[in-house]
């Protein structure tokens, strides 16, 4: 969101002096998170980051600038030493650890519960591959996107590629509510 949508939203509601450094900061994060990094670009980004943070200091109060804002200065060096950020992200591992932690049934012995749950899940997955429509499994049930309507918009963000679920309700907004929604 910060790399793609926020820059477009800021331009419409803020003046140029305020939104320019924020958009530059967003493009910096977009550059840092790219799949490929160029050494020259990272050196230039570090120099530009100093100017961006100085511009932000002129806009926001000094209480906004804590240690976390300062840590942004070290990201280009870290990217140069460690390579692209996507290869060092912890998100996949954290998601997998959540899945493993969900296996815990006996809190006195969590390691054994995780091992038992993992083995049971693997065994069920292996066995369910051999049921050919006799029993519904995650391998033979229809996907949620089958029979989807055609996209309702040409704009990528608002395309509807899934079926609606639940009862459809139509809500009419009055003028005060509509002004709040627009705001």
* Triad 152, 154, 159: Cα angle to 5°: 45
Task: Tally the C-alpha atoms within 13 A of residue 19's C-alpha that lie toward its C-beta.
Answer: 11
| pLDDT tens profile 63-72 | 878 888 888 8
Alpha-carbon dihedral angle through residues 131, 134, 136, 138, given to the nearest 10 degrees: 20
- Distance of alpha carbon 114 from alpha carbon 107, whole angstroms: 10
- Distance of alpha carbon 69 from alpha carbon 75, whole angstroms: 11
What tokens appear for 125 in the block? 């997955």
What is the pLDDT confidence band of residue 115, given thresholds at 50, 70 and 90? very high
Average pLDDT over residues 89-112: 88
pTM, rounded to two decimals: 0.53
Residue extents of the structural domains in the chain:
6-87, 91-128
């Amino acid at each position: 969101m910060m790399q793609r949508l926020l820059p477009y939203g800021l331009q419409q509601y803020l003046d140029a002096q305020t939104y320019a450094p924020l958009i530059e900061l967003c493009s910096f994060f977009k550059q840092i998170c790219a799949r490929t990094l160029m050494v020259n670009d990272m050196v230039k980004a570090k120099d530009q980051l100093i100017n961006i943070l100085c511009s932000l200091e002129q806009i926001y109060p000094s209480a906004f600038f804590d240690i976390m804002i300062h840590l942004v200065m070290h990201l280009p060096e870290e990217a140069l030493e460690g390579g692209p950020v996507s290869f060092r992200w912890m998100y996949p591992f954290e998601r997998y650890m959540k899945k493993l932690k969900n296996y815990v049934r006996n809190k006195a012995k969590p390691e054994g519960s995780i091992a038992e749950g993992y083995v049971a899940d693997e065994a069920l997955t292996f066995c369910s591959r051999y049921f050919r429509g006799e029993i519904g499994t995650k391998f033979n049930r229809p996907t949620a996107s089958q029979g989807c309507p055609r996209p309702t918009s040409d704009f990528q963000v608002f395309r509807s590629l899934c079926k609606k679920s639940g009862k459809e309700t139509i809500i009419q907004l009055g003028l005060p509510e509509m002004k709040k929604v627009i705001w």
